[in-house]
Amino acid sequence: MRFVSTRGQAPAVGFVDAVLGGLAPDGGLYVPQTWPQISREEIAGFADMPYAQVAARVIGAFAEGEIAQDDLLAMCEQAYATFSHAAVVPLVQLRPGVFIAELFHGPSLAFKDVAMQILARLYDHMLGERGRTQTILCATSGDTGGAAVEAFRGRQNVKVVALFPEGRISEVQRRFMTTAEEANVACVAVKGSFDDCQAIVKQAFQDPVLRQAVDLSGVNSINFARIVAQAVYYFTTAATLGAPARTVSFCVPSGNFGDAFAGYVAHRMGLPIGRIVVATNSNDILARTFETGRYERGTLTPTISPAMDIQSASNFERLYFEAGGRAPADTARAFEAFAGDGAIDVPPKAFAAMRELFRGVATGEDDTRRAILQTLDATGQLIDPHTAVAVSALDRVADLTGPVVVMSTAHAAKFPDDVAAASGVTPGLPRGGADLADRPERFDRLPAEAETIKAYVRAFAEG
Ligand X SMILES: *Cc1c(COP(=O)(O)O)cnc(C)c1O
**By the rule CB under 6 A, 410 interacts with ligand X:** yes
Task: Using CB under 6 A, pick the residue from 254, 283, 392, 423 that binds ligand X.
Answer: 254
Whether 385 and 417 have beta carbons less than 8 Å apart is answered as: no
**By the rule CB under 6 A, 113 interacts with ligand X:** no
Q: Between 127 and 172, whose beta carbon lies closer to ligand X?
A: 172
Query: CA 144 from chain center: how many Å?
Result: 8
* Other C-beta atoms lying within 10 Å of the C-beta of residue 133: 16
DSSP string, 160-180: EEEEEETTSS-HHHHHHHHT-
3-state secondary structure of 394: helix
**By the rule CB under 6 A, 258 interacts with ligand X:** yes
Task: Using CB under 6 A, pick the residue from 38, 89, 90, 143 that binds ligand X.
Answer: 143
Q: Between 331 and 387, whose beta carbon lies closer to ligand X?
A: 387
Please state at what angle helix 258-268 crosses helix 316-323, rounded to 10 degrees. 30
Q: How far is the CB of 360 from ligand X (least distance, A)?
A: 12
Strands (DSSP E) found in 301-435: 343-345, 358-362, 404-408
Q: Which of residues 187-226 bind ligand X (CB under 6 A)?
A: 221
Q: Between 18 and 110, whose beta carbon lies closer to ligand X?
A: 110
Q: Between 46 and 104, whose beta carbon lies closer to ligand X?
A: 104
What are the backbone dihedrals phi and psi of residue 74, each rounded to the nearest 5 degrees, phi first? -65, -40
**By the rule CB under 6 A, 256 interacts with ligand X:** yes
Q: How far is the CB of 206 from ligand X (least distance, A)?
A: 21
C-alpha closest to that of 234 among 258, 215, 216, 210: 258
What's the CA angle centered on 59, arms 406 and 67, to 5 degrees?
160
Query: CA 323 from chain center: how many Å?
Result: 20
Distance CA 237, CA 257 (A): 19
Task: Using CB under 6 A, pick the residue from 259, 309, 322, 418 that binds ligand X.
Answer: 259
Interface size with ligand X, residues (CB under 6 A): 18
Q: Between 249 and 256, whose beta carbon lies closer to ligand X?
A: 256
Whether 347 and 324 have beta carbons less than 8 Å apart is answered as: yes
Q: How far is the CB of 303 from ligand X (least distance, A)?
A: 11
Q: Which of residues 346-405 bind ligand X (CB under 6 A)?
A: 386
Q: Between 157 and 363, whose beta carbon lies closer to ligand X?
A: 363
Q: How far is the CB of 387 from ligand X (least distance, A)?
A: 8
Task: Map residues 33-72 to x or -, x wherever contact with ligand X holds by CB under 6 A.
Answer: ----------------------------------------
Catalytic-role residue among 112, 159, 202, 454: 112
What's the CA angle centered on 166, arms 418 and 172, to 5 degrees?
40
Residue 107 neighbours by CB under 8 Å, 6+ apart: 82, 113, 117, 147, 150, 151, 432
> Considering only 25-33, 62-70, 251-259, 357-365, which stretch makes contact with ligand X by CB under 6 A?
251-259
H/E stretch holding 143 reads helix 143-152
Is 112 tagged catalytic? yes
Task: Using CB under 6 A, pick the residue from 7, 57, 105, 112 that binds ligand X.
Answer: 112
Q: How far is the CB of 308 from ligand X (least distance, A)?
A: 5
Q: Which of residues 304-333 bind ligand X (CB under 6 A)?
A: 307-308
Q: How far is the CB of 392 from ligand X (least distance, A)?
A: 14
Q: Quick check: bond before 244 cis, omega within 30?
A: yes
Q: Between 282 and 409, whose beta carbon lies closer to ligand X?
A: 409
Q: How many CA atoms lie within 13 A of 220 on its CB side?
A: 31
Active site (catalytic) residues: 112
Contact residues: ligand X, CB under 6 A = 110, 112, 142-143, 221, 253-260, 307-308, 386, 409-410
